Structures are given as structure tokens and as C-alpha cells.
Chain A
Amino acid sequence: MSRGKLAIIGVGEVPTGRYSDRTRWDIIYDVCTQAVRDAGIDKKDVEGVITVAPQAQPRLTSEISFGKIPEELGLSGCKDVCICNAGGASTTNCLRLAEQWIESGLAKIVLIPHVTVHSTIPLQDVISFFATAGIDTQWEYPFGATFNGMLAMVAQRYMHETGTTAEEMASTVVALRKWAALDPNSMFYKKPVTLEDVLSSKMVSTPLRSRECNVLADGGGAMLVTSAERARDITDTPVYKLGHGGRYTGACNILRKDYFMREGWRDAARDALNEAGLEKEDMDVFEFYVAYPFNQLVALEAVGITEPGESGKFVMEGHTSPGGTCPCSTIGDACGRGHTGSGVSMANYIECARQLTGKAGERQVPDCRHILATAAGGSGMNTLMTVWGREIP
């Protein structure tokens, strides 16, 4: 699909947090009805439902895989349904699949929901799930690899090669939590942290401290998408997908030649910007979903905002924070939003829509016209980049 064929016309979202008293289906009802009402369409006009696969929730995954959402919601015009699993990159692929359904004529409007409730899964089960999701059961798991451990090794090597300091690494958390503190849909709304808070938090896997790792959260969101032409008939504020780029970086850490994924991010960004016909200088916001805070530094270098090794200073100086010269990750990435499994990318795209329609509240970047957004899955299996805009250039 060439640039500007797909558009977001409605979004729905519940705040991240702990909803142990709320069922997953309760959240699905809320985010889907919100998205349909936000677009102002009739529910019978939703002709396809492509759901982001929830992680670590096998029964819910089965229920959704086998078609329950359109039936629960009474989407009488629905022609087909499926679920898409690429871990943290699922939402990006739901969008791409929706493009195909729309362009082929299968569906005019597609609903893309996500829900995750971590808080009712026993802690050891959550740890066990993430111990083998994106971690090889033969060559990594027997040695006690964890997500934190794997990313901590990347961080260790990054510090070694670039000379980035612990303070600079920790400043990424401060920046992300500043954004989260302005986000009513974040579990960390009005809860910023200081550099001292981060540096004094418990060491989990050297060099990463607990505040430099993710907090698991419950949450849900939904987007409604359609073709650019139809979007203009439905809403005055469509949000166009202008470009896409992607690289596969590999499943196993031991085989990843591009260990920081810098080249993958760089190449994917170049493809996405080329398709959009835009330059990085045209971007008003960078919505980096790179999961671990320190990876914000790699993303800044990959996109060419700073030279390798200089991004830590850049973040510490406040350039990526609210009011800064280069606003990055305006919901605070997984660190600021709470990690909702495969849902952080959903939250990221919803934020793109909010920023581009002027609905981002206290986080609103003035006159936001273009955004470069990232996504990745597993322990870093791919680097996906999308460009979004409120007009087609």
C-alpha cells in the first residue's frame, strides 16, 4: 500500500493500572465502544476485527482467536475476524493486515483492539511466561536468562562502547516519567521521579536498577481504521499512516550481529520516511516504543538525532522531555505507561492519533504534524517504524 492509504478515525483506551476486580471482557467492551463512538460511525459498519494477541493469557487468546469479539459486541456487519501475534510488534502488523483487508475490499472499516490483565495471573506464572517468551529454551533459558538480564547485557555493552554514564542512563527514566506524569491514562499520572529516585532503586540485573526496568500493568486500547478516502467522509481529523519500514534482527541474542539494533532502527526509519516523502527534520514527535528506558538512547542515535554515545547527555539536558526541543515518547514508553505485554505499541499509536488531532492534553506538542513511531517484538526480534501525519504530503 502506498503512502496515505490508511487512516485512524477513532480510538478508545482505559488507563493502565491494576484491575484485578475487572474482567478482561469488561475492558474489551469499553475500549471498542469508545473507539466506535469516537469515530461517530454505526457499529454495523465495522466489517473486520483484527485483535492484538494478548500475551500470557491463553484462554483469552483462544476466545479471541475463535471469533468472540464481534459476537459479544453485536457487530452484525463483520465479515471476518483474526488475531495477530508478533509480541510487542503485534499492533503494527494488525495495521498492515487491516490495510490489506481494506485495499482488497474485504472490509471498509476495521476494529483493532487489545486487552491485557496481568494482575490476576499468579506472579510466578507471569515470570515463567516472560522467562521463555523471546528467550531460547535450549541455548539461553537453562542459564537463568530473563528479559531484564538480556537487556541488562545490552545496556552493559552499550555503556562499555559509548562511555555513557549511569546518571545518563537513569535520566531516560526521569524523562519518560515526566511525560507519564502528564498522562491521565498512565498508572504513573502525577508521579514523576528524580534522578536520585532512579539511582537509589534496587539493582536488579547490573547495570539496570528496578526503576530502569518495566512494571507490568493491566490495560487496553482500540483503534478504528479505514481508507484515507473514506476517513475524510467520516471525520475532520483523520490520522494518516504515511510510511512503514521494518527489519528482522533475529530471535536469539547470541546471533544478533546488530546487537544494539541501531542499524535495524536506522534502516527501518529510512524506509518509512522515504515512503512518506519526509525527512527526520519534518518530525515533530518521536514515539519510541523500545521497552527498556536506556534503549531510548539507541533509538535517538539510530534515527540520527545524536551521534552514537551523545544521546545520554542529550536526554539528561532535557531535550526529549516535555517542553524540550525534541519531544520523545510522550506517554513515557513502557516505563511510563506500565508494560501491558503486547499493548504498549497500541498505546503508542493511540498517542500518535491524539497528538496529531490536538487531543493530547498537557502532553500536547504544539502544531504536531508528523510523528515517527517505533515498535519491536520479543527480546528485540525486529525494528518497525511508521510515519503518521494529519495530512498526506
Chain B
Amino acid sequence: MSEYKKPLPEMQPWSRAFWEGAKRHKLLIQVCTDCDARIFYPRKICPECWSRNLSWTEASGRGKIYSYSVTLAGVEEKFADDLPFVLALVDLEEGVRMMTNIVDCPHDEVSIGMDVEVFFEDVTGDVSLPKWRPAKS
């Protein structure tokens, strides 16, 4: 495996569980056990009620594309080999939105509202990034 040169997520103590989950190919969403808020991105305290009683729930891994852009130029050198790639916002069934890449899909077939499913790209031995591809069913 060649060395991964692209930026890795700069984790915080309270987001570590998300990335540990990703490493095990599980998409975890933070949940406030006091007000039941679904929280993404993860915080140290619930942004709704400031509770510190936070836990995690596994997301279904299904979502829809809210918006996307096929990036063709104007990126840092470390991303240049990936061009063209699809940057996207995906709305999860759990009601939160993530920025990601859409892969395994011809670029002219990517569309707003498209059903997508998560998978995990093991970019290093320690880090896996959640990416999305067209839903199989």
C-alpha cells in the first residue's frame, strides 16, 4: 500500500468514537440521551441542550444526495491524482448531513436526490473514511 498523502481528519477526543467506528466500518451518529438530538458533527456537549450525556447509535447507512459537484481542477497537488472526483452532501435517513465523495458511479449519472449507501475506504491502517455509492436496491 503506497503512502496516503491526502489530509486525514483532525480528530478531537469526543469525535474519536466516530472514527473508531469508521475503522470497524460502522457509521456512528452521536445521540443526546437527555434531549434525543441526533448530532453531527460530534461535539463535546449536546449543541441543543448542553447535556454531557452523549452516546452513539449506528446509522442505517442509507441516504440521499442533497447536492454535489464534479471537481475537475483547482485542487491541492495531493488531490490532483484523484481528479475528476465527486464532492457531495449526503442527507442520512437519521436526519443529519455529511460531506463526502460519491464513488462507483459514472459522473454524469450522479444526481440530486439519488439514493446512496455508505461504505468505508481504509485509507491508512488507522483511518477509514465514510464514502457513498449508488444504493444497490
A residues adjacent to B (C-beta < 8 A): 124, 127-128, 131, 136-146, 148-150, 152-157, 160, 202-208, 210, 213, 252-255
Given A138-B12, A156-B112, residue A205 in contact with residue B74 (CB < 8 A):
yes
Instruction: Give the 9 A-B CB pairs with smallest separation, nearest first.
Output: A152-B69, A157-B67, A153-B67, A206-B70, A138-B9, A137-B10, A205-B69, A149-B87, A254-B97
B67 pairs with A160, CB closer than 8 A: yes
* Chain B: minimal CB distance from A288 (Å): 22
Q: Are A204 and B7 in contact (CB under 8 A)?
A: no
Q: How far is the CB of A377 from chain B (nearest CB, A)?
A: 20
Bound Cα distance A160, B131 (Å): 23
Task: Tell which of A124, A143, A205, A255 has the most Cβ of chain B within 10 Å.
Answer: A143
For the residues of B in contact with A, the DSSP-based class is: mixed
- B134 shortest CB reach to chain A, Å: 18
Residues B99 and A139 in contact, CB atoms below 8 Å apart:
yes
B99 in contact with A140 (CB, 8 Å): yes
Contact yes or no, B72 A205, CB < 8 A: yes
Q: Does B11 contact A (CB under 8 A)?
A: yes
Query: Taking CB as reference atom, which chain A residue is nearest B8?
Result: A142
- Taking a contact as CB atoms closer than 8 A, the residue among B41, B74, B76, B82 that contacts A213 in the complex is B74
**Which residues of A lie under 8 Å from residue B79 when comparing CB positions?**
144
B89 at the interface (CB under 8 A from A): yes
> B residues within 8 A CB of A127?
74-76
Find the B residue at minimum CB distance from A151: B69
Complex contacts, B104 vs chain A, CB 8 Å: none
Across the interface, do B69 and A206 meet the contact criterion of CB distance under 8 Å?
yes
Give the CA-CA distance A288 to B18 in the complex, in Å.
Answer: 40
**Which residues of B pack against A, CB within 8 Å?**
6-12, 15, 40-41, 66-77, 79, 82, 85, 87-89, 96-101, 112, 129, 131
Residues on A with beta carbons closer than 8 Å to the beta carbon of B100: 143
Q: A127-B76, A143-B87 are in contact. List 10 more A-B contacts (CB 8 A).
A: A143-B131, A144-B101, A149-B69, A149-B87, A153-B67, A156-B69, A157-B67, A205-B69, A205-B70, A254-B41
Say how far A203's CB is from chain B's closest CB, in angstroms: 5
Per the bound structure, the CA–CA distance linking A210 and B72 in Å amounts to 11
Contact A144 B71 (CB under 8 A): yes
Q: Which residue of A lies closest to B127 (CB)?
A: A142
B74 touches A254 (CB 8 A): no
Asked if A157 and B66 sit within 8 Å, CB to CB, the answer is: yes
- Most central of A140, A144, A157, A202 by chain B CB within 10 Å: A144
Docked complex Cα distance between A160 and B110 (Å): 13
- Contacting residues, chain B, for A137 (C-beta < 8 A): 7, 9-10
CB distance from B95 to the nearest CB of A (A): 12
12 A-B pairs (CB sep. < 8 Å)? A138-B9, A139-B9, A139-B99, A144-B71, A144-B82, A145-B99, A148-B74, A153-B68, A153-B87, A156-B112, A204-B71, A204-B74
In this complex, what residue of A is CB-closest to B90?
A: A254
- Shortest CB–CB separation between residue A251 and chain B, in angstroms? 11
With A127-B76, A153-B89, A254-B41 known as contacts, the answer to whether A205 contacts B97 (CB < 8 A) is no
B9 touches A142 (CB 8 A): yes
CA distance A124 to B76 in the complex (A): 7
B70 and A131: CB pair below 8 A? no
Cα of A207 to Cα of B112 in the assembled complex, Å: 13
Nearest residue (CB) in A for B113 is: A160
| Highest count of chain A CB atoms <10 Å: which of B41, B71, B77 | B71
For the complex, what is the distance from the CA of A2 to the CA of B88, rounded to whole Å? 44
Which residue of chain B lies nearest to A161 when distances are taken between CB atoms in the complex? B112
Partner of A143, one of B72, B77, B99: B99
Q: Which residues of B contact A207 (CB under 8 A)?
A: 69
Selected from B40, B71, B89, the residue in CB contact (under 8 A) with A205 is B71
Known: A153-B87, A205-B87, A253-B89. A146 touches B74 (CB 8 A): yes
Give the distance in Å from the alpha carbon of A234 to the alpha carbon of B67 in the complex. Answer: 53
CA of A124 to CA of B75, assembled, Å: 9
Q: Indicate if the CB atoms of A146 and B75 lie closer than 8 Å.
A: yes
Residues of B within 8 A of A139 (CB): 9, 41, 98-99
Q: Cα distance A146–B79 when bound, in Å? A: 11
Question: How far does the Cβ of A351 sit from chain B's closest Cβ, in whole Å?
Answer: 28
A202 to B97, CA, bound (A): 30
Cα(A88)–Cα(B90), bound, Å: 28
Q: Shortest Cβ distance from B53 into chain A, in angstroms?
A: 22
Closest Cβ–Cβ distance, residue B59 to chain A (whole Å) = 14
Contact yes or no, B97 A156, CB < 8 A: no
A254 to B29, CA, bound (A): 14
With A253-B99, A254-B97 as given contacts, are A156 and B67 in contact (CB-CB < 8 Å)? yes
User: Is the Cβ of A144 less than 8 Å from the Cβ of B9?
Assistant: no
